[in-house]
Amino acid sequence: MSKSSLFSSRASRVAALLLLFTAALAIRLYDLTDLPLDFHPTRQLLSAIKARALYYETQPDGISTEQLEAGIYFAKLKATVEPVVFERLVAFTYGFTGEYVWIARIYSSLFWLIGGVFLFLLIRDLVSFEGALLSTAYYLLFPYAIIGSRSFQPDVLMVTLIVAFWWAFARWMRSPTWTGAVLAGLLGGFALFIKFTAAFFVIGAALGLVLSRYRFRDLFRSGQVWLIAILGALPASGYLIYGLFIKGTLGGQFAGRFIPALLLSPLNYLQWAVKADLAAGVVFIALGLLGFLLAERGLLRSLMTGLWIAYLTYSLFFNYHVATHDYYHLPFIPIVAVSLGLWGQWLLARLTEVTVQRYQRIAVYVILLFVMVVETWNVRNQMKAVDYRPQAEMFAEVGELVKDGTVIALTQDYGSRLEYWGWTSSYTWPSVGDLAYAQARGTSFSFDRRFERYTAKRDFFLVTDFDELNRQPDLKERLNLFPVYAEGNGYVVFDLRKP
């Protein structure tokens, strides 16, 4: 029997890709209508509140004036860093469907799958079909990627555009044309416009690729390079100038992103490694790094070098956030995926050599299918394990109880759940993490001073995060000096008016 590749026929390749992308979409649409509390709910609810406000600004029918005003008001309380592109898309869709926050989950899932298409095309052109298949399978089906890519936040769209830029720029490198330069520039520029952090991965990839073939002085003489750079910089620069100097809302949002003291903290590097392992998997990270041993000089090795240096630089700059916010590692997933391409080619080549009989090849297909099914089923079980829908009813109940008073709250997501489902704003008591962050930036207060400051002129102290309350024994002891105003399943309200 011929020793042709396991995926040498067109039919086998089409079948493999269809199966892979169908499974990736199906698992992302499972438990579709559950509340967006499964993955960094603070960030997801920020986008949900903004999308609702944009929808309410259109004055839709069937919503009371009080709710319209409250929904718009709560959005104005939220900080704005990135342009509200994704939120506008979801709000526009609300105009046809009504307000269903799970619509954002469909868009995010589709964005990530589109990124998978561009990743596949990139690795296929630089390595082979087999390498692209493994890279794309990892990108689509790694458990963290499945959960994270369903979230309502701009990071998912940013990652998609970053990967699309890598493909377009590598394509331009192989065949420099003005059309290719425009496409690469627009994709890179839109990625930066969605979220500024994309700059590390757009610029890192571009420098890694161009410096493998050109000298710096040659780059400055290239009109196409200038076109890519200008198109890449214009959208984000325009928004930055508008936000800093015209509207004046962005200045405070960049504070605290880099904390110099953490550069000397071994614990911070350990926490960074833990978050990176959660997001990308330490085994796959190690294989990605070892991929340099398989890579010969060329575009792939240059791209890998640029991307890994970009990730290192990015992580050192956002040294606090990469150690505490695992979603900051979402762009790391496609970097690892790119680095796995040669391993995919090598592995399937070895399997091709040893599977000379038809039954052996069928066994390989069955094993690969089994792995895919088990991985997606495990994620499905994770999604099914928790039903967040009762949270909406609970916060609606709490909102009704405290709507006539001013509230200080130790609650999840900085009060966003209370705003979104309870139609009530609150002043939030800091968590242990918030206090540690403030201390790292050189700010700290005694407990007595902090309590007096936060509770001054407040009527109620709401607690819904009891795990956090147990981590703050001073607060728990102080609150027990006040009478309970109301109590229910998942919450307790203390009456600050009657010490």
Lookup: tokens for 123: 């690795």
pTM value is 0.92
Burial of 390 (0-12, 13-18, 19+ CB in 10 A): exposed
pLDDT tens, N- to C-terminus, the chain (499 residues): 345 667 777 888 999 999 999 999 999 999 999 999 999 999 999 999 999 999 999 999 989 999 999 999 999 988 777 899 999 999 999 999 999 999 999 999 999 999 999 999 999 999 999 999 999 999 999 999 999 999 999 999 999 999 999 999 999 999 999 999 999 999 999 999 999 999 999 999 999 999 888 777 777 788 899 999 999 999 888 888 877 777 666 655 555 567 888 888 899 999 999 999 999 999 999 999 998 888 887 899 999 999 999 999 999 999 989 999 999 999 999 999 999 999 988 888 888 777 767 777 788 888 888 888 998 999 999 999 999 999 999 999 999 999 889 999 999 999 999 999 999 999 999 998 888 877 777 677 788 888 999 999 999 999 999 999 999 999 999 999 999 999 999 999 999 997 7
Sheet holding 407-410, edge to edge: 427-428, 407-410, 460-463, 491-495, 484-488
Burial of 101 (0-12, 13-18, 19+ CB in 10 A): buried
Please provide the DSSP assignment of 131-181 as one string: HHHHHHHHHHHSHHHHHHTTSSSHHHHHHHHHHHHHHHHHHHHHS--HHHH
Residue that the structure tokens 């005003």 belong to? 69
Please provide the DSSP assignment of 109-138 as one string: HHHHHHHHHHHHHHHHHHT-HHHHHHHHHH
Helices (H) then strands (E): counts for the chain: 25, 5
User: Residue 478: what are its φ and ψ, rounded to 5°?
Assistant: -70, -40
3-state secondary structure 64-91: CHHHHHHHHHHHHHCCCCCCCHHHHHHH
Question: What is the DSSP code (8-state) at residue 245?
Answer: I
Please provide the DSSP assignment of 200-216 as one string: HHHHHHHHHHHTTT--H
Contact call for residues 304 and 339 (beta carbons, < 8 A): yes
Question: What is the DSSP code (8-state) at residue 485?
Answer: E
Contact call for residues 18 and 140 (beta carbons, < 8 A): no
Q: 473 CB contacts (<8 Å, ≥6 apart)?
A: none
d(CA 462, CA 395): 11
Q: What's the residue count for the chain?
A: 499
Torsion over CA: 396, 400, 401, 402 (sign): positive
Would residue 63 be called left, alpha or beta, if left means φ above 0 and alpha means ψ between -120 and 50 degrees? beta
Contact call for residues 408 and 426 (beta carbons, < 8 A): yes
Lookup: tokens for 83: 């342009």
Residue that the structure tokens 């469909």 belong to? 106
Best CA proximity match to 159, nearest among 279, 13, 258 = 279
